[in-house]
Every structure is written in C-alpha cells, then in structure tokens.
Amino acid sequence: MKMTRLVLALGLACAAVSAHAEQPALTAMTEDTGVPRTPEQAAVVFEHADLGFKVLPDSKRLEGDATLTFRASAALSKLVVDLDRNYQVSRVEVDGQAVATGGWRNPEGKMSVDLPKPVASGQVVKLRIVYAGQPHVATRAPWDGGFVWAKAPSGEPWIASAVQGEGCDLFWPCIDHPQGEPLLVDQHITVPAPLVAAGNGVAMGMQEKDGWRTWHWRTRDPNTYAIALNIGPYEEMKGEYHSRFGNTIPLRFWHLRGREQQARELFAEFPQVLDFFERNIGPYPFGDEKMGVVETPHLGMEHQTINAYGNDYKKDKYGYDWLLQHEFAHEWFGNQLTNTDWDDMWLHEGFGSYMQPLYLQYLRGDMEYHAALLDQRAALANKFPIVSGKSQTEEAVYNREHGPGLDIYYKGSLMLHSLRSLIGDEAFFASIRRAVYGTDTPKPGQFKPRYVSTRDYIDIVRQVTGKDYGWFFDVYLYRAALPELLAERDATGLSLRWKTPDALPFPLPVDVRVGGNDGPIRTVAMSGGQGHLALAAGETYTLDPHSKLLQRLPHIEAFQRDAEARRQAAESARKK
C-alpha cells in the first residue's frame, strides 16, 4: 500500500505524463477515502460489480458502464455510491428502468439515486451508471492517486491506475470505504489493439473487433482500491507453483517487451516468496485465481492478484526485490485480512513491513533480520499513536504532519518483533493465522476474506496465549512515545524501571547479559514495571542483548536530529 521506503527517498521508475494543469479539482469527498458510510451504504451487501471500461489513450479519456448489484439488509428508499462528480453521467438505471435526471444527484461525489419504489430487506436491486470523462491524473503515483498516462520505451501507451489514497471513486462507482468490498467483480476493459489489459483475478477471455480489444477479468472479494487498470504492450510470462497445501497456483507476470531477461530473473523469485508466506503464515488466499504481477509506470501497489511493480528490477542491499515481496505481503495483510477502518491500517502496513525482515531471516539468518529491523528503527517518528481509537480517513493516517505516517509501517513491524519475543513463535504465528484466516488450521478453499480491527487482534492474542496483553498494546499502539527503560546501580545490583507515557502499567520482562559477550543471560521479571537483578560489585552488564525490546533509544534520537539538521542545511544550500 502506498509503498514507502524509509524516508521515501526512492525515485519513481516512471515515464509518466504529468498532470494537466487544467484538470478539475477533486471535491473533498472524492479526494478523501474512508469517510464513514452513509446509512444507505451500510445497509447493503455489495454482491456484484460489473464494470465496463473503454480507455482512450489519445484523449486520456475513460468511458464507463457500471452495473452494481446490492442486496438490502434493511429497507431502502435510495442508493448511495461514491463517484467523482467530474465525470459526465449520461444514464442511470434501477433494475433496467431509466431514472429521470431529477431522480439522482451527485453534487460532491457522493451520488444518491432515488428508488422507484422502496426495497425491502433481503431484496436485490441493480443500479447502472453510464459515465465518461477524463479521470484524475496522478501527479506522483502511487502516493497521489489517479491515472498514469505514460509511454512505454517502445512508444506505445502505458497506462495504470493507482487510487489507494483517494479511493475507488476516482474511476468507478463504489462504496469508498474499507468495508465496501464487492463480493464479485467483472471487468470488461476495452483498449486499442494490440494493447494488453492485465486485470484482477481470472482471465475470462478477450474479443477483438474494429481495432479494439476487450479483455474480461473476474475476481472475488477485492478491496475497493485493489481494482486496477493496467494497460500496455505487455508480454505474459507463465508458470505454476505446487503448494505445500496440495493446490497448484498459476503464476503470471506481464512485463514490457524487450525486458524478458530481467523479467525472468524477477519471475524466478515468485516461488521462493510464495514458499516463505505459505510456510510462515498459511495458504495463498487467492490460489484459485493467480499470483499476478504487472510492470507499471509507477513504483507499486498491492492490487489483488495483479500487484503493480515498477521497481525497475533493482535489488536492494539485502539482495532481493523488496517491492515485489512487500506488495505480495498485502495479499495476506490487506486483501485477505482487511482493516475495518483506516485507523487499523497498521494491520496492513505493520504486518506487511515485518514480513521483510522475517523474509530475510528465512533466506539468510539472523544478521540480516536484525539489520533490517535496525533500518526500520532509525525511521520512527513517535509523534502520534499508530492507533487513535476512533474512525479515521486515509489522509489522517498517512499524513505524518498530523498522523502516524510511516510509523504504521515501522513501529507496527517493530512492535510485532517485540510481541514475538514476548509470547514465543508458536503463539505469535498462531495469532497471525487466526487473524488472517479465522482459524489456526487454514486450508485452501475453506476460508473467506475477513475484516479485522485492532481490538480484534488484541483479543486474538489473548485467546491464543490465555493471557491479557492489553497493557502491551496500550503502550505501543495507543500512545506515541516509546517506553523508556531506566537502569540504576545500587548496593546489591541493578534496579530496572519502565517509564511509560501516562504512567501506564508495563510489566515487560527484560533480558540482561551479565559480564562479557559470553556471559549468562538473566531474565528480569518487571512486575509493576520494576525489577531488580543481583550483581557483584563492578560486574558489567548489557541490557536487552538480543534486541527484543522496542524502547526509547537516545542514540537513535541523536542520529535523527543530526540527519534532519544535515537535510535542512542541504535544502538551504540548494535554494541559494
């Protein structure tokens, strides 16, 4: 999701066309995502979205024809969907009957349609909307959402959507909220021949007529922002993965022409990444569809079964393609497990970020695991809690000026590392499986995507361990400042005390190594947030020798202050 890398220092591997200065402004309703659903939106089950898109590269125009099927869970007199008001709506139908112009309205991007007659609970109603216009152009995809109109190196149109930050309503009528997932989506994507449209889910066929190709894709239970358009002069790479759970998973990679060698090297990583996740977490959630990746003119995004990849085939200092691995993590933490609210976004990004050091531990051992965690530790801001406890929009969570920003990635990851150290691997991974699948023993085809909140996960940890760890999550998730471990020598040894925000209880045990590097390790119980270890006079000690604890570290803060000072000095020098 909104892929970030420490301080977003990566450049985009992109030949994107910049946004038109004259493009109409988005309304506040459309620009934001995760605004609470209206009563009408909360009172429907979104059963099916049948989406027709005709993409016209020359005019950067989109023609849409969407039929949305809802089942009412309460009586309804109108339907409400989200759609950018900058589109021109030419026709609205309810159950096949045209709705007069006065029967629908879309002043701010939340479109209301009056029903010809009330719909009772349990009844099905179909809403069709035909619309057209120029979709909002992303100025800096994927961080600023919209369409990317680019050119492939060979000159053909290369087009992608990336709408996580602003939402699905940038290009199709939807319920723009994490809990607005449709149960089934069909996409009919019409593009100039011979371009390819790689889509979510399963390929249902392609028809070509009069110089146009229409690609049909079908997927189940997608995140609303996961529906994506990816169009270009693609070549398709195919393979299969024989899962440890007995099923066979199709592997697909759509890459640009002329990049086959680089594409083969990346494609070779697919089975290893799959094995890591299936071994540590559980079955790939969409194995009956595909593991799909498509090369894009922006950095990346976790579009369910068709993850956007724009990392230009670069491996990082750890020797793997971090973007491929991170986006694929979101098939579990984002697409299978979906946050109930943007306030719970750490469940996507924190777990997704922890999968990277964990993957390095799987590949090469503990040194790179701890090195990757240290990279994350150096990036923490700790200015805002990563969970507020109240409903939030995407912008409120990701904007680090007034929200947690990158901390939902890295503080979430480091908190999970400490939780794993506290409760042990067996309970830790059992808690993840139960959160992701709803069971400790998931099997392909025997689970469905789930909505999970922060409180749900805290309850799951309690169920798995038989202990209440609310104190742990209260400090790490619901407070901004990190706990500080205070150590003081006394006449008989070492006194330890946790200093926490709001003086919250925090009985987190502390390991102490006595003597040199080969000295014994003693675990100090911290009942009441305090503990004591007997030490001989003059004996040396090392606190937390295996770096289990997420805690305040003054030397990290000093490093951050120095780095910020140097950044500001360099910025001032550039302006002179």
Is 349 annotated as ligand-binding? yes
Give me the amino acid identity at 383. K
> Based on the number of CB atoms within 10 Å of its own CB, is 40 exposed (0-12), middle (13-18) or buried (19 or more)?
buried
Cβ within 8 Å of residue 467, ≥6 positions away: none
Q: What is the DSSP code (8-state) at residue 13?
A: -
d(CA 250, CA 383): 43
Among 216, 206, 212, CA closest to 194: 212
User: Residue by residue, what is the 3-state secondary structure of 32-99?
Assistant: CCCCCCCHHHHCEEEEEEEEEEEEECCCCEEEEEEEEEEEECCCEEEEEEECCCCCEEEEEEECCEEC
Give me the amino acid identity at 112. S
Q: Would strands 248-256 and 291-295 be described as parallel, antiparallel, or unpaired?
A: parallel
Residue that the structure tokens 């059992």 belong to? 430
The answer, yes or no, to whether the previous bond of 545 is cis (omega within 30 of 0) is no
From the centroid of its chain, how far is CA 130?
A: 30
Inter-residue contact 530 to 498 (CB < 8 Å): yes
d(CA 346, CA 338): 11
State how far the alpha carbon of 163 is from the alpha carbons of 102, 144, 191, in Å: 30, 8, 20
Is 20 annotated as ligand-binding? no
Inter-residue contact 233 to 256 (CB < 8 Å): yes
Backbone torsions φ then ψ of 446, nearest 5 degrees: -115, 25
Inter-residue contact 51 to 21 (CB < 8 Å): no
> Based on the number of CB atoms within 10 Å of its own CB, is 93 exposed (0-12), middle (13-18) or buried (19 or more)?
middle
Radius of gyration of the chain (CA): 25
Q: Which residues pair with 532 in a beta bridge?
A: 495
SS3 475: helix
Cβ within 8 Å of residue 190, ≥6 positions away: 52, 53, 54, 55, 212, 213, 214, 215
Active site residues: 327, 409
Distance between first and last Cα of the chain: 36
- Contacts made by residues 203-209, CB under 8 angstroms, sequence distance 24+: none
Is 330 annotated as ligand-binding? yes
Inter-residue contact 537 to 512 (CB < 8 Å): no
Name the binding residues for Zn(2+).
326, 330, 349
Name the binding residues.
326, 330, 349
